[in-house]
Amino acid sequence: MTINEFFQLFLYINAILIVITIVFVRPRRVQSIYLWIAAFLLLPILFVLVFYIFFGRDYRRAKLFKSKGATDKLGTDYLRKMREKLFICSDESEVLCRYSSIAKLLLDSNQAMVTTNNQVRYFNDGNQLFESIFDEIRDAKRYVHIEYYLFRDDELARRLVSQLASKAKQGVEVKLLYDAYGGHSLPRNFFKEITDSGGGIAVFFPSLLRRFNTRINNRNHRKILTIDGETCFCGGFNVGVEYLGKGPMGDWRDAAVLVKGAGCIGMESRFIQDWNFAAEDDLRIENYCLQMSEDYLSGRDGPGESAVQIVSGGPDTEFNPIEQQYMKMISEAKKCIRIQTPYFVPDEPVLSSLRVAALSGVDVQVMIPFKPDHPFVYWATLYYVGTLLKSGVRVFQFSPGFVHAKTLVIDNEVASVGSANFDVRSFELNFETNAVVYDAAFALEMARAFQEDVRSHCIELTPAQYAKRSYWVKFMESISRLYTPIA
């Protein structure tokens, strides 16, 4: 046998093993199985094997997620004990009572506690958000826990690192968790100022080769920050100057929510579970949240009256909580739905939910970017929003720069702000966190901001305009959408 024949045999054996894994070992959607098998049959084996390295799910990772789920259970057991006490549906929150079926779904499937004594604030401008973040960190007394997907090596990130280091020197517990893929371009000593000051740094799913991480699936895409257990942030902003509108994409539209109150228990517990997994630590949720929860349960008034649930999903969860959250909110809408997302590549159940809502007379509006940051995903997005136009859904493209917000508002009463896009990656492949807010004033503020962008910064993609797109765009849409269910 020649070396070339041996190499070909080696490739085919690996291909067979991967096909067996895809079909029999890992649970996948049927469309994904068909596409993987077709790829192995029709494309060069070496090309498909390389593609699988980047996009496939390996069994070792599956075992790792199972281990993470077991670790997280220690934390959710504590939350489970508290959840009945913190699930409140009374005259304190009329909106929560009207949409209690959403809250119950997320409570039962995700242990997402409901608290009704929160103060909330909405941000859609990065400059305002980060100034608020710096102000809150400056006032921290006990701890600052921060978990972001992406850090840039730029002035904003360096300012944040410097402030965190300063708080660590003051004796405040500082722990920072970032994703290995999102931070792969950072210098090796980027966070040294924090560690030298006594703070802790952990990396989520690091690669053996630091600057060459082949696994773009199963990333920690969350963006959360908790301070002293009483103040927390959740949203779509990462840490980089482009999120201030200073990058190559120009003006940047994103979204985040500041929560003050017992809702931070859910956010802090999420950080601790992820930190313990990445850092192999043993932080106890009750050590950070117990005093606060006992204060609220003993009748202490909170800083506000907004009801909040913190919902997290990922490949380590039994269900798909993020997708379930979006579908349930869509199905409960009676008057209007407002969606912002940079990537609209959902599966059929979510598409059907939006079609049914629009055909039932619900005013459905979706905002996507006008400028693409990832061409293939952009073309796939155009394909999927195009399928909704016939149902009466209105689609708007944010033209001055890039829309990165991940928001959903229904009936101007319930709103979701977080890290999860309307795509299969956020539903199944990546770790995400959203804050669901049951507060008509907050939801109306978000809806008005949406309409202001529609009026001042958006171009409507009408059915007539969509029909005029070029043959090249139609071809790229068809090719790009084939990629979406393959992971």
The residues that bridge with 369 in the sheet, in sequence order, are 398
474: Cα separation from own chain's centroid:
29
Task: From the candidates 68, 260, 328, 404, give the one annotated as an active-site residue.
Answer: 404
Task: From the candidates 68, 145, 167, 221, give the one annotated as an active-site residue.
Answer: 221
Q: Are 178 and 148 in contact (CB under 8 A)?
A: yes
Task: From the candidates 72, 125, 179, 228, give the one annotated as an active-site residue.
Answer: 228
Single out the residue of 252, 9, 343, 267 nearest to residue 115, CA to CA: 267
Which two tokens mark 310? 């913190």
What is the torsional sign of CA 427, 365, 403, 124? negative
CA separation, residue 448 to residues 14, 41, 114, 124, 198 (Å)? 54, 51, 25, 12, 44
C-alpha dihedral, 151 to 156 to 162 to 167, nearest 10°: -90
246 is catalytic: no
374 is catalytic: no
Task: From the candidates 68, 145, 167, 406, give the one annotated as an active-site residue.
Answer: 406
Tokens 């202001």, residue? 452
Q: Are 263 and 115 in contact (CB under 8 A)?
A: yes
**How crowded is residue 55: how many other Cβ atoms within 10 Å of its Cβ?**
16
145 is catalytic: no
Which two tokens mark 315? 């490949």
CA gap 472, 458 in Å, rounded: 24
Query: What residue ranges in 373-473 does DSSP mark as E strands?
Result: 394-398, 401-403, 407-410, 414-418, 422-423, 432-438, 458-461
3-state secondary structure of 174: strand
Task: From the candidates 223, 260, 328, 457, give the one annotated as an active-site residue.
Answer: 223
Q: Which amino acid is at 145?
A: H
Task: From the candidates 411, 423, 439, 453, give the one annotated as an active-site residue.
Answer: 411
Residue 48 φ/ψ, nearest 5 degrees: -65, -40
184 is catalytic: no
CA gap 254, 419 in Å, rounded: 10
Return the half-sphere exposure (C-beta side, CA atoms, 13 A cut-off) of residue 176.
Answer: 30
CA gap 113, 342 in Å, rounded: 28
Q: Are 327 and 353 in contact (CB under 8 A)?
A: yes
Q: Which residues are catalytic?
A: 221, 223, 228, 404, 406, 411
